Amino acid sequence: MFSYKIVLVGNFGVGKTSLIRRFVENSFSEEYLSTIGVSISKKTLGDATIMIWDIEGHTEFKPIYKQYLLGAKGFIIVADLLREESMDAIENHIKLSREVVQDAPVCIALNKSDMPHTLDDEKLNTIQNLSPAVIKVLKTSAKSGDAVEELFLALNEVICKQLS
């Protein structure tokens, strides 16, 4: 048994907490509760226990932000398919994460895919090519559960290979 830390990063209100809740508890709530500071959840997959850090959306402007990222073995960058500013922020979130942990793999969750959106394949390819660290880009829905398990399992697989 071993454990490791992953961190979910993204703008305020993109669904980081909802993705974690869907993955860890297989539940979803329409009620919006803003994360203050950091919240830590845990899930065991095979021999690995994943410590999942959920960082509040406005933290990147605070001096403590990079401290939250230290020790992470992987990152999930979350954006809201319905909010262009959150999509535009993906590259900056990757850059900040890579400044702290250079060799950690990154998955990108384009959340709220259950809602009508305008993301095309060209934009999807552009996001995939933002960094060599990006191992997977998925359209996810915390509400329906679409691609949530796949997102965490893809990151877990790469991290477990690195740690073994």
- What was the pLDDT predicted at 126? 92
pLDDT for residue 9 is more than 90: yes
Number of domains in the chain: 1
What contacts 22, CB < 8 A, 6 or more positions away?
A: 28, 142, 145, 148
| pLDDT band, residue 34 (cuts 50/70/90) | low
pLDDT for residue 118 is more than 70: yes
**pLDDT tens per residue across span 51-86:** 999 987 765 555 677 888 999 999 999 999 999 999
Biggest alpha carbon–alpha carbon distance for the chain: 42
What does the angle CA 57 – CA 133 – CA 34 come to, to the nearest 5 degrees? 10
Mean pLDDT of all residues in 106-132: 92
**pLDDT tens per residue across span 16-33:** 999 999 999 998 877 766
Residue with tokens 């796949």: 150
What's the mean pLDDT when you consider all of the chain? 91
Residue-range definition of the domain harbouring residue 138: 2-163
Closest CA to 163 of 97, 105, 106, 107: 105
- What was the pLDDT predicted at 55? 86
CATH of the domain at 114: 3.40.50.300
pTM assigned to the model = 0.92
- What was the pLDDT predicted at 149? 97
